[in-house]
Amino acid sequence: MKTNSSLIAVAILVAAAVSGGYLLGSQRGQPSTAATAGETPAAAAKARKLLYYRNPMGLPDTSPTPKKDPMGMDYIAVYAGEDSGEASTADAPNQVRISTEKIQKLGVRVETAALRSLETMVRAVGRVEPDEQRLFTIAPKFEGYVERLQVNVTGQAVRKGQPLFEAYSPELVSAQREYAIAAQGLQAMQDAGKDAQSGMKQLAESSLLRLKNWDISDEQLLLLAKTGEAKRTLSFRSPVAGIVTEKKAVQGMRFMPGDPLYQVADLSTVWVIADVFEQDIGRVKKGAKARIKINAYPDKVFEGRISYVYPTLKAETRTVAVRVELANPNGLLKPAMFAQVELAVGGAEKLLTVPDSAVIDSGTRRIVLVQLERGRFEPREVKLGAFGDSYVEVLDGIKAGEQVVVAANFLIDAESNLKAAIGGLSGSAGQDAARAASQTTRAVATGHRAEGRIDSVDAKAGSVTISHGPVASLGWPAMTMDFKLANPALFKDLQPGASVSFEFVERQAGEWLITSVKPNTARPAESRPATAAAPHSGH
């Protein structure tokens, strides 16, 4: 019995010693409240404010609550003031902070909002047409016959005053004789009384006026008055230098008053009629410059000005015709040619602008990321005005001189809890923008890893072709496909045939962007993923 009692006593002492050691170790491993002199529990909680939980593998994925990744690893808590290498909210609730290392990795680029002349181009298709003010129709005003053709081919170039055809008309011959007799009678009655001279003068003037109304030239009238001989035929001449665009006259044919026998077009100046879409017509103004390109002359650019904006809209195409006048001294521009038209809109007035790539458009709200300092960004809702080719006017939301993110802003969205920052915007604007950011984050925030071999590198296009192994997070088999690189610096040391490990995200549907790549020097060549039989075209 003594032995059993002694054993029990020893066991109790051992247990007490173990318990005491555990408590002592616990007290030593955790700082006591007394050790933090003067620090209240509220101050300690504020110093360790929990921001979010980040992915333990460094993928661009965060969570407001504890969770596990697909491999069962717990997400890591990130507290205010910690430099985790990942994105976090800054001190202000509507700001985002990203580490310098992450900024370099993502290839973030900023540009200053500044005052610029926002001249842009409205593009349209058009066609070359003759200048309607330089079209001339030759139509006799009396009945007669085509006696002889002197220009008998459509498309023939003619000089001003060049004879086109000769016409015979009994009425014309009679009118000429009447004028010749009146002119001779006026000379013969110089010694007659005033009444007789006045009557003969009126007869001569009426005969002359009749011939002039028939478009008889002054040269022919002078010859008629001088010789007094009525000619059997009369020559019709071209009123302008140009091209015969229509010829209906046939030798020997009879014509009636007003029948159009010839049409001559002066093509030294032509029109280009451009069809401008309804939504663009409000920016097109008379007198603005225009650039014309013709498929027949790809190396030439013709310049003119808008001379008229037509007042009607074509309901079938929802376009408005705009007329551009162009000089055509060499005759290169021919009627019915198709043209590509660029109409300059906007003026010399300086406007506050940012690159259009800086704008995140949710459909109802427009957001830009303003860089307050290196690594600290603030989302701002902006009101946009006119759009240029690569810049857009900002009416409200930012000031001149502020720096806005113009490249990799979608990756800042993916790498940070930008949804929470945008949610700090006031009213429904913040809610709508937060929804837009949430959609963008879901689209691009998921990162993936793979290993493969580089087949080719195209630094000019910013892409690389890689034969990679299976990607478990996407369920992809081994294949060959093209990737874009987020940062030009990633091209360093990338050579065809090199084995690499890389991370990538989906920037937009079907476009995959590499955010990190490292040479896989330790990997033996025989373990590289096999090249797929055909390039991957489905992603």
Q: What whole-number distance in Å separates Cα of residue 419 and Cα of residue 417?
A: 5
Q: What is the pLDDT of residues 121-143, one digit of tens each?
A: 788 999 999 999 999 999 998 89
Cβ-in-10-Å burial (0-12, 13-18, 19+) of 370 comes to buried
Find out whether 189 and 196 touch, Cβ atoms under 8 Å.
Answer: yes
Does residue 276 carry a pLDDT above 60?
A: yes
Cα dist. 389→119, 215, 371, 382, 386 in Å? Answer: 8, 55, 24, 19, 10
C-alpha distances (whole Å) from 36 to each of 28, 49, 69, 204 are 14, 17, 36, 128
pTM of the model: 0.49
**pLDDT of amino acid 31:** 42
Task: Give residue-wise pLDDT tens across range 304-327.
Answer: 999 999 999 999 999 999 999 999
Residues 6+ apart with CB under 8 A from 530: 467, 478
Query: Would you say residue 531 has pLDDT above 60?
Result: no
Could you tell me which residue, 311 or 538, shows the higher pLDDT?
311
Q: Which domains does the chain have, with CATH numbers?
A: 39-84 (no CATH), 100-118+350-443 (2.40.420.20), 140-259 (no CATH), 269-340 (2.40.30.170), 446-527 (2.40.50.320)
The pLDDT > 70 percentage for the chain reads 72
Given a contact cutoff of 8 angstroms between Cβ atoms, the answer to whether 292 and 303 are in contact is: yes
Q: Is pLDDT of 512 > 90?
A: no
- Give bridge partners of residue 255 from the DSSP assignment: 144
| DSSP 8-state code for residue 74 | B
Helices and strands counted in the chain (H then E)? 9, 33
pLDDT in tens, 389-438: 778 888 888 888 888 888 765 555 544 545 544 554 544 444 444 444 44
Query: Of 261-270, 449-458, 475-484, 502-511, which range is least confident?
Result: 502-511
For residue 4, pLDDT beyond 60? no
Q: What is the mean pLDDT of the chain?
A: 76
The number of CA neighbours under 13 Å toward the Cβ of 309 is: 15
Task: Please check the confidence at residue 36 and state whether its pLDDT lies above 50.
Answer: no
pLDDT at 361 over 80: no
Task: Using a pLDDT cut of 90, give the percent of the chain over it.
Answer: 26
Distance from chain centroid for Cα 171:
66
Q: What is the mean pLDDT of residues 149-156?
A: 92
Letter for the amino acid at 256?
M
